Chain A
Amino acid sequence: MYGGGYIHDDQKKKTDSIAEDPALLAEFEARIARGEKIEPRDWMPTEYRRQLIRMIEQHAHSEIIGALPEGTWITRAPGFRRKLALMAKVQDEVGHAQLLYSAAETLGKSREDMINDLINGKSKYSNVFNYPSKTWADVAVIGFLIDAAAIVNQVANSKGSYGPYCRALERICYEESFHLKQGHSIFVYLATGTPTQRAMVQDALNRWWQPIMHFFGPSDKMSQHTETLMRWKVKMASNDDMRQQFLNMYVPKIREVGITIPDPNLHKNPETNMWEFTEPDWNEFYEVIKGNGPCNAERLAVRRAAEDNGAWVRDALRKADQQYVTPLA
């Protein structure tokens, strides 16, 4: 789904000071300015490579962890059609993780290292997946609104400068549009259903609204840092712009079926044409990133168990003469 706008970075200072060859850097920046893509074995600034690995890797982790809160509902889906759709969606998310890990691998970090860093907490994933999915209506809200938010982010990123990431996102965005449609379908069926069903979807939205407002990350008044990333077409849109775009597209779709957004201050200012809203609790946001959300421990434990339980199969299949090389594209 789900590279949120917010990408965690606690090592920023380490590479900020690296001096790059000015001629190579100028050539690199000119290529991006011309709208050409950067390919895996091109020269690139250390900071560009580091930022991309970090971003694509966190995006990949979000896909694979994002499969968990929805996957838990497959066995309890109401009806065969819904079950088939949810299985297809969850499989897509795991497939997205594979595509994204591959794109990050072309930059020189192995998939094993990325998964280790996910499990040991060094590398983050989208905060939304550290919340529980309590009812079937949560599947509606996740599939509809979190996938929608992810699409806003991913469509922007697919126009970025790194070839393999763009190619992966092209395939991913196509599949995401099915996720959104099936989520919207469940959402509409519940919202136009019995009073119990309506109450269920309202309750789910009440619980998910804050994590959704967190999704794109805190307001990013253009810092020096963001400017470089935008010039390099690593970051393609500001967190605020993406959040505004999301609200523009989806607030009407929530309201048209009579569901209330749990923020009395949410409205579009007719003068600025911008959405105004209650700031979500950013303390909670940072606490969840640190690992203190309701489901962080469960997500990592389940991920770890999956790798541990698969170890004997992987060992049994491994050929003695295998030799890993960095994928080409």
Chain B
Amino acid sequence: MKIKSLDPRVSRLELDVVDKQPDAVLHVQDHWETYQVFHQRKRGEKHSSVGIVHAPSAEMALVFAKEQYGRRGETVNMWIVNTRDVLAMDYDDYDVFATTPDKMYRDPAGYKVNDKIAEFKKSNLHV
């Protein structure tokens, strides 16, 4: 049975009804690899990760990324990185950073000397 559509362009294709258990239409990696896309909105701002595209090469990934992530708003630049080339930390390892906010010796707020100065000014050591 051929598909009859309200749209004559579809009817002209004379498409068959897809049978209930068709062979797989797509096979493993038919949609190529994935690339991570980094988008810069304005000069002076940083590039940020906005998502991925499927593409057969970095050049094609850039073409697809422009279409997918640049079709609204401002864009001045994009980077493409093959997902394979990204070495990511494991979320489970976050605990190595757990005490970082406590390291006050790395923080300007960790250095308070006004009390010392005031005390010194009141003392007789102050000439």
Name A's B-contacting residues (CB within 8 A). 39, 41-42, 72, 88, 91-92, 95, 98-99, 102, 105, 110-113, 115-116, 119-121, 132-134, 167-168, 171, 174-175, 297-298, 300-302, 304-305, 307-308, 311, 314, 317-319, 322-329
A134-B6, A319-B56, A328-B88 known; A98 vs B18 contact (CB < 8 Å): no
Interface residues of B in 1-43 (CB under 8 A from A): 3, 5-7, 9-10, 13, 15-18, 20-22, 24-34, 36
Among B46-54, B97-105, B106-114, B119-127, the stretch that binds chain A is B46-54
Partner among B24, B29, B49, B68 whose Cβ is within 8 Å of the Cβ of A116: B24
Whether B16 lies near A301 (C-beta < 8 A) is: yes
Whether B32 lies near A300 (C-beta < 8 A) is: no
Interface SS of chain A:
helix
Question: Which residues of the partner chain B approach A174 to less than 8 Å between Cβ atoms?
Answer: 72
Cα-based distance from A319 to B29 in the complex (angstroms): 11
Whether A121 lies near B32 (C-beta < 8 A) is: no
Whether B25 lies near A327 (C-beta < 8 A) is: no
Whether A112 lies near B52 (C-beta < 8 A) is: no
Return 12 A-B CB contacts under 8 Å, by A number: A72-B10, A88-B71, A95-B71, A98-B53, A111-B31, A119-B18, A119-B22, A120-B21, A121-B18, A167-B51, A318-B32, A328-B83
Whether A324 lies near B29 (C-beta < 8 A) is: yes
B74 at the interface (CB under 8 A from A): no
Cα-based distance from A302 to B17 in the complex (angstroms): 9
Partner among A298, A301, A327 whose Cβ is within 8 Å of the Cβ of B36: A327
Cα-based distance from A298 to B71 in the complex (angstroms): 30
Whether A324 lies near B21 (C-beta < 8 A) is: no
Question: Which residues of the partner chain A approach B68 to less than 8 Å between Cβ atoms?
Answer: 95, 98-99
Whether A305 lies near B15 (C-beta < 8 A) is: yes
Whether A115 lies near B26 (C-beta < 8 A) is: yes
Cα-based distance from A41 to B94 in the complex (angstroms): 13
Whether B72 lies near A175 (C-beta < 8 A) is: yes
Min Cβ gap B28→A in Å is 6
Whether B33 lies near A322 (C-beta < 8 A) is: yes
Whether A297 lies near B36 (C-beta < 8 A) is: no
Min Cβ gap A34→B in Å is 14
Question: Which residues of the partner chain B approach A39 to less than 8 Å between Cβ atoms?
Answer: 91
A134-B6, A301-B16, A305-B13 known; A323 vs B57 contact (CB < 8 Å): no
Q: Which residue of B lies closest to A76 (CB)?
A: B7
